[in-house]
Amino acid sequence: MPKTVRIASVDELQPGQMKAVDVDDRRIAVANLGGAYFAFDAVCTHAGAALDEGEIDGETVVCPMHGGQFNIKTGGVESPPPRKAIATYKVQVVGRDIHVEVP
């Protein structure tokens, strides 16, 4: 059964920024894309690099290790070397808090 976890405040993320937190056995990043918030696995499926240490380019997060790219909204691979998508999570903003639904 999914649970909802507070992972950040809207005040912590300016547009184009992201932050990662550990939730149970997952590292989840949340990104601010023009005032909309999206959450995704913060670990690259190619070599395990921390995606939150990479850069945001539009709707894409760029892996800092080998330059692989994932769509922040869908988790889909946009550029190799990764072949497997990253998981994405439902986000809710409650007041000024950002909550993520995790399985």
Phi, psi torsion values for 42, nearest 5 degrees: -95, 20
Cβ neighbours, 10 Å, residue 94: 9
Q: What is the rounded CA–CA span in Å between residue 49 and residue 10? A: 25
Model confidence pLDDT, tens digit, residues 63-80: 999 999 999 999 999 999
- Tokens 């990764």 locate to 82
Model confidence pLDDT, tens digit, residues 23-65: 999 999 999 999 999 999 999 999 999 999 999 999 999 999 9
pTM of the model: 0.95
Residue 95 pLDDT: 97
Asked whether the predicted pLDDT for residue 1 surpasses 90, the reply is no
SS in 3 state form for the chain? CCEEEEEEEHHHCCCCCEEEEEECCEEEEEEEECCEEEEEECECCCCCCEHHHCEEECCEEECCCCCCEEECCCCCEEECCCCCCCCEECEEEECCEEEEEEC
